[in-house]
């Protein structure tokens, strides 16, 4: 399978740092148009999984497929289909929003009018069009994040990976960003994997993946999994350490 039809999947993926097992036979599959929340406490293995999905690290244990491309056999094609927002901001603070995005477009071989049209569309999608000429340094944290999300759309990826993208933001900015990214999955058919440890960023219709100590404890519809319990209580019950 190729193209937008295949979403994101991991099959029996494991990873160790020396003798420390950080991921243990993790398997899941996220369909196009699906928003999957990867929920786990600190140290669960979320960043390790992101490092494998973006090929910062590689493993021989397990198979990762992105938009139908096997990541270890066909890394170029697979990586071309993902848009990534890392935990740490990677904007150049001295450049304007537009220059940051133009630079990124050029890295993907996009220039001229075609690039400009994609950049304008991406900024519009994140309600950032009127800030295109502002310096990144002058933006608040929420607008910087929205710039980064717009940037990761420019090359028309089919899978978005966001590693705790709301860290350090206030409640209003967090809400704006979670709403924007939910809309990207629902309305544009993007496959989204969103790592977080904050349950209020997750909607009942989302797929919920609970990762704890490197193992995937739950994988299913968030509303069905939590039932009558609040997601926060459900998550705590799943991951509580014995006293």
Ligand X SMILES: Nc1ncnc2c1ncn2[C@@H]1O[C@H](COP(=O)(O)OP(=O)(O)OP(=O)(O)O)[C@@H](O)[C@H]1O
Residue choice 26, 30, 39, 45 for contact with ligand X (CB under 6 A): 45
Asked whether the CA dihedral 210, 216, 221, 226 is positive or negative, the reply is: negative
Rounded to 5 degrees, φ, ψ at 167 are -55, 130
40 touching ligand X, by CB under 6 A: yes
60 touching ligand X, by CB under 6 A: no
Q: How far is the CB of 42 from ligand X (least distance, A)?
A: 4
What are the Cα distances from residue 4, in Å, to 32, 71, 156, 183? 7, 15, 10, 17
- Angle among Cα 66, 69, 72 to the nearest 5 degrees reads 90
Residue choice 19, 42, 88, 133 for contact with ligand X (CB under 6 A): 42
Whose tokens are 């710039």? That residue is 147
Q: Of 47 and 100, which has the nearer Cβ to ligand X?
A: 47
Query: What is the chain's length?
Result: 243
Strand partners, 194: 37, 162
Q: 190 near 4, Cβ under 8 Å? A: no
143 touching ligand X, by CB under 6 A: no
Q: How far is the CB of 163 from ligand X (least distance, A)?
A: 8
Region near ligand X per CB under 6 A, out of 42-50, 62-70, 143-151, 220-228: 42-50
Q: Of 22 and 78, which has the nearer Cβ to ligand X?
A: 22
Q: 66 near 79, Cβ under 8 Å? A: yes
Q: How far is the CB of 138 from ligand X (least distance, A)?
A: 29
Q: If binding means CB under 6 A, how many residues of this protein chain bind ligand X? A: 12
**Which residues are near ligand X by CB under 6 A?**
17, 20, 22, 40, 42-48, 197
């Amino acid at each position: 399978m190729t193209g937008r039809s295949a979403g994101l999947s991991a099959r029996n993926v494991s990873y160790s740092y020396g003798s420390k097992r950080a991921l243990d036979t993790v398997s899941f599959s996220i369909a196009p148009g699906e928003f999957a929340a990867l929920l786990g406490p600190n140290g669960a293995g979320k960043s390790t999984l992101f490092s494998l999905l973006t090929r910062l690290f590689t493993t021989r244990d397990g198979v990762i497929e992105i938009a139908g491309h096997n990541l270890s056999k066909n890394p170029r094609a697979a990586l071309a289909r993902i848009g990534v927002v890392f935990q740490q901001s990677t904007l150049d603070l001295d450049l304007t929003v537009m220059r940051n995005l133009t630079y990124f477009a050029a890295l993907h071989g996009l220039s001229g009018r075609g690039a400009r049209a994609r950049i304008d569309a991406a900024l519009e999608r994140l309600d950032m069009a009127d800030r295109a000429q502002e310096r990144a340094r002058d933006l608040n944290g929420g607008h910087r994040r929205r710039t980064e999300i717009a940037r990761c759309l420019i090359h028309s990826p089919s899978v978005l990976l966001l590693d705790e993208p709301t860290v350090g933001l206030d409640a209003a900015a967090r809400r704006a960003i979670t709403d924007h990214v939910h809309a990207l999955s629902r309305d544009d058919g993007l496959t989204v994997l969103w790592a977080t440890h904050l349950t209020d960023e997750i909607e009942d219709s989302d797929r919920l993946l609970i990762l704890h100590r490197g193992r995937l404890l739950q994988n299913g519809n968030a509303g069905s999994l939590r039932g009558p319990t609040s997601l926060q209580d459900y998550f705590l019950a799943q991951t509580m350490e014995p006293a």
